[in-house]
Amino acid sequence: MCSPAAAALFDSTAHGLVGRTLTELLAPASAAQAPSLQHFMDQALRSGSCCAEVRLASPAAGGTLRATITPLAGGSPLPQYFHWLIETTASQHAESDRRVQALLEAMPHPVYLKDASGNFCDCNEHFTGCLHLPRTEILGKLPSQLDSREVDIVKALEAACPSRDPRLPGTLQSVRHTTGGTSTLFFIEVPLLDDNGAEYGLVGIIADLTEQTLVKEEQQLQATMLEDEIAKHQQVAEALRQREKMLSLVINAVPQNIFWKDTNLVYAGCNDAFARAAGLSSPSEVVGKTDFDLPWSREEAEGYRRDDREVMRLDRAKYHLTETQLQADGSQVIVDTTKIPLHGDSGCVVGVLGVYEDISQRTEVERRLKESEERLSVIFEASQVGIVLVSPDGRISFANRRMAEMFGVSLAELLGTSYLTWLHPSEEDEGSTLTARIISGELASVAVERHYRRRDGSDFWGYLSGRRLENSDGSLRALVGCIADVTELKASQSALQREKERLAVTLRSIGDGVITVDTAGKVVLLNRVAEELCGYHQEEVAGLPLDQVFRVIEERSRTPKANAIARVLGTGEVVEQSGNGVLVARDGTERIIVSKTAPILDRNQAIPGAVLVFSDITERRGIEEELFKARKLESLGILAGGIAHDFNNLLTGIMGNIALSRATLPDEHQAAAFLDRARKGAEQSKALTQQLLTFSKGGAPVKKLTSISQVLTDSATFALRGSNVRCDFDIAPDLWSAEIDTGQMSQVISNLVINADQAMPEGGTILIRAENVLPMDEEDRQHRIRITFKDTGTGISKEDLSRIYDPYFSTKATGNGLGLATVYAIIKNHDGEIKVFSRRGHGTTFAITLPAQDEAVPEVPVQQPSAETLAANGGGRILLMDDEDAIREMAKAALAMFGYQPVVVSDGEELLEVYQKDLAGGQRFDAVIMDLTIPGGMGGKDAVKRLLEIDPDAVAIASSGYSEDLVMARYREFGFSGVVSKPYSLHDLEVTLKEIIARNKG
């Protein structure tokens, strides 16, 4: 190919130059340079392009030309060269530029020139068209400076460079245009060299190879499709081979014997099983043979061939022919044969296919099964148990005659009926639910007693054992049930159960432990008491030796105590345990017991075992010991009470005489201090006798409205004398007063403080808090005070908390168990409440709540009446009865000093006589003071009754050294107007008389 500009250089046309070499076009003078021109071409092939100046005589120009040679890639295996010829003489530059430009425009591809800096210096219209830019926006710019919408082409221009690989002079790029299309472009850049071989620029061509690429891809696609078609044909052929192989494997894997013959009854093929049956090693040995050539007998062969001809002639298969066949080893088997005709493509019969299997074993199994069914049928009908099959819809599909007899109907009447209709009405709901569960598969089997009814309305009990009968796929085929009539058995069991219940009730009702053993001495039964005492349950001990369950040791020596079972079983005697033994329970608990062992006799008087009966006497022993202790305490109490009474009488005389002596002396007298000390000692002795009386008698409290604050501090401090325990008090300053018996409440405080002290042997602190408690609601108007005693001692175990108030219960070896019992009784007699809060190792807190008044009463100081006060009193007659001379004399003097006219007597008879005599004489007594206890004579309790009969208006005052006497607490119920407890001070006597006399006169 040649451009018109190039043709003009050689004075020719483009068509005239096609097919001619450049060497032929040169003048003869320059032909000598042809080898150099060839050298440039070779260099262009190696480096991708070549540019050099050569002095060639052009016929048209006659000047020096610059030749640029670039190889072009194409479909031809030989390189095609593209030649640029540019005139370089100075006189021809302008014409050369025009010719270059014309050459660029004549190129069918986009072409551009770059200078040494890489800037575009020239291009043709194809190049501006592919960038959609005018020449002015291209020339003088680098590729990266182009502002073109064809981004992919710009990026390719940036990446383009001269190729160093002669086999690939450029780069192939797939670009996406802004119009949406895609092209395959080949970018080629070739360096421009001067005469010295230096590079002064680049020329680039963009060849559109989209059509060539599509053609090539089409050719590749066709080749690929052809290859795929060939591969498919190969796969089909391979599949056919595999299918034939698989068919052969399947035929040979089938356990049945398979063969096929042609219309001449000659074997055309078979499987391995048939060949083995014929005594041959492979199916190929069978092909071409007839039945007469194989081991079967002649009769068998003729029979086989006869059947084959019939199948082909009638064109109809014959199924399950039962035949015999002689084997190669001489044995004969029974075979089940099926023969079918074989058809060719035209539909005509071309042979016969036969399949048979050895059914000798199956025939034998069927024979045995038939015999078994016959036997089962006999058993089924002879069974005394009803047998029934229930279909999935709940109807009886099969049953034996016994089942029909149990329901009172014939077999024909039973079949087809609903199973549920034969249930007793009381069992219909439960039976329906259970049947539904087993039909649904929720239950696989069931074993239960059922209540049934017969056709005539009578009923019976049956034991039903049923299960699901399933098909091979797990679906329900039927329910199979066996029903045994257990009516008589159930009645016997009920009778036995009632007997067992009576025995169990009897054993449970027995308060003693009962153990029965067999002849080997193994435990058979324990009752509830025996379980508790031994520490075993009935289920654990069955079959265990008695000595393992019933371990008894001597109480004193602690050696094992032999049981009497062997002796009882040997002699049949009843043996009672000698002395008391100690039963050691499973957990180590020990109990004192007494026991008796007796033989068990059956109806034949044989001894199948023995029974051991034993009683726990631990508590009884403890009660006996405590009772003995209590009796001793009671004796001591009586003694203490007598001593206290007598001592109170003595103290009354002593305290009265001291008070009289002190009243007659001025405070500055030397003896006054001694008399005051004597009075205090007598008052302390009075407190001691009060404790003795409380210990001896207890009894109802003699209540007085009292401020308990002082009682708390005095009693607690007194109880802790000599102890290493400190007592802290937190008493509300406005603590309300309460009606209490000061002596008894003091005992309560002392007992609680002493208990706390003993719980802290290493020392500690007791916190005593007293506070007012407001009513909980409007309906409760009762005011209360709460007193708490909190220690930091060892605490009380959970097991002991419920027993601490029990009489004689104590956790201390030296305790008598009466302390907290007395506290509890006194608080209850005061209409109060006591609670305890304790935990082992965390101390103990006792909380006492008592009824109270809403105001605190001021404490009245004890003062001895002065002589002036005593002289100011008087104006009444007083009759005093006491058996002690010292008290009569002291009281007579004291009353006289108070200004009264005293009359004293020694017993009740004398008092009544004096009172009646003076009353008859018109002289009345303003008050009568009576001692309640007169040894050998009438006391105040009896005397006041007769006194009130004589004078209902008599004013009687009870006096006693037994301050806990019931009369002292509830004196009004016995006819008294007041009380004065011995030993009384002159102040107590004076105040009591003045109050009572004033009250009665008012």
Percent of the residues in the chain that have a pLDDT greater than 90, as a whole number: 19
- DSSP-derived pairing of the beta strands 927-931 and 956-960: parallel
Find where tokens 């102890």 sit: 723
| Out of 37-41, 72-76, 262-266, 666-670, least confident range | 72-76
Q: Which residues lie closer than 8 Å to 399 by C-beta, 6 or more apart?
A: 386, 387, 388, 389, 411, 414, 415
**pLDDT tens across 815-824, in order?**
555 677 778 8
Nearest 5 degrees, angle CA 584-CA 586-CA 590?
Answer: 25
The pLDDT of 712-724, averaged and rounded, is 85
Please say if the pLDDT value at position 474 is more than 80. yes
DSSP element (H, E) containing 794: none
Find where tokens 């649904």 sit: 440
Name the band, by pLDDT with cuts 50, 70 and 90, for residue 960. Answer: confident
- The residue among 468, 469, 448, 449 whose CA lies nearest residue 460 is 449
Radius of gyration of the chain (CA): 69
- Rounded Cα distance between 132 and 484, Å, is 108
- The residue among 635, 649, 744 whose CA lies nearest residue 696 is 635
CATH code of 254-363, in short, is: 3.30.450.20
Count the alpha carbons within 13 Å of 543 in the hemisphere toward its beta carbon. 2
Q: What is the DSSP letter of 585?
A: -
**E strand spans, 402-496:** 445-453, 459-470, 476-485
Q: Is 796 in contact with 783 (CB distance < 8 Å)?
A: no
Q: Is the peptide bond before 983 cis (omega within 30 degrees of 0)?
A: yes
- The residue among 429, 422, 432, 425 whose CA lies nearest residue 462 is 422
Length of the chain: 1002
Name the band, by pLDDT with cuts 50, 70 and 90, for residue 861. Answer: very low
Q: Which two tokens stand for residue 213?
A: 């690429």
Beta bridge partners of 851: 784
- Please give the distance of CA 56 from its chain centroid, rounded to a whole number: 108
Q: Which residues lie closer than 8 Å to 114 by C-beta, 6 or more apart?
A: 120, 121, 189, 201, 202, 203, 204
| Out of 46-50, 745-749, 878-882, 889-893, least confident range | 46-50
The pLDDT of 477-486, averaged and rounded, is 90
For domain 708-852, say whether CATH 3.30.565.10 is its number: yes
Kindly report whether the global pTM for this prediction surpasses the value 0.85.
no
DSSP-assigned states of every residue in 485-548: E-HHHHHHHHHHHHHHHHHHHHHHH-SSEEEEEETTSBEEEE-HHHHHHHT--HHHHTT-BHHH
* CATH 3.30.450.20 location in the chain: 4-218, 254-363, 383-491, 510-616
- Rounded Cα distance between 709 and 341, Å, is 128
CATH code of 510-616, in short, is: 3.30.450.20
- Rounded Cα distance between 759 and 84, Å, is 129
**pLDDT tens across 616-635, in order?**
888 777 777 666 655 655 56
- DSSP-derived pairing of the beta strands 725-731 and 445-453: unpaired
**pLDDT tens across 663-712, in order?**
777 877 877 777 777 777 676 666 556 555 555 554 456 678 888 888 89
Beta bridge partners of 332: 326
Name the band, by pLDDT with cuts 50, 70 and 90, for residue 186. Answer: confident
**pLDDT tens across 353-392, in order?**
999 999 988 888 888 888 887 887 787 777 788 888 999 9
Q: The domain 4-218 belongs to what CATH superfamily?
A: PAS domain (3.30.450.20)
CATH architecture, range 383-491: 2-Layer Sandwich (3.30)
- DSSP-derived pairing of the beta strands 978-981 and 956-960: parallel
Find where tokens 């003993």 sit: 758
Q: Which residues lie closer than 8 Å to 485 by C-beta, 6 or more apart?
A: 386, 406, 460, 461, 462
- Rounded Cα distance between 405 and 413, Å, is 11
Q: Is 212 exposed, middle or buried (0-12, 13-18, 19+ CB in 10 A)?
A: middle
- Kindly report the average pLDDT of the chain as a whole number: 81
Q: Which residues lie closer than 8 Å to 433 by C-beta, 6 or more apart?
A: none
CATH architecture, range 867-1001: 3-Layer(aba) Sandwich (3.40)
Beta bridge partners of 582: 553, 592
Q: What is the pLDDT of residue 48?
A: 54
Q: What is the pLDDT of residue 742?
A: 82
* CATH 3.30.565.10 location in the chain: 708-852
3-class DSSP state of 27: coil
Q: What are phi and psi of 358, to 5 degrees?
A: -75, 115
- Rounded Cα distance between 819 and 816, Å, is 8
3-class DSSP state of 701: coil
Q: What is the DSSP letter of 460?
A: E
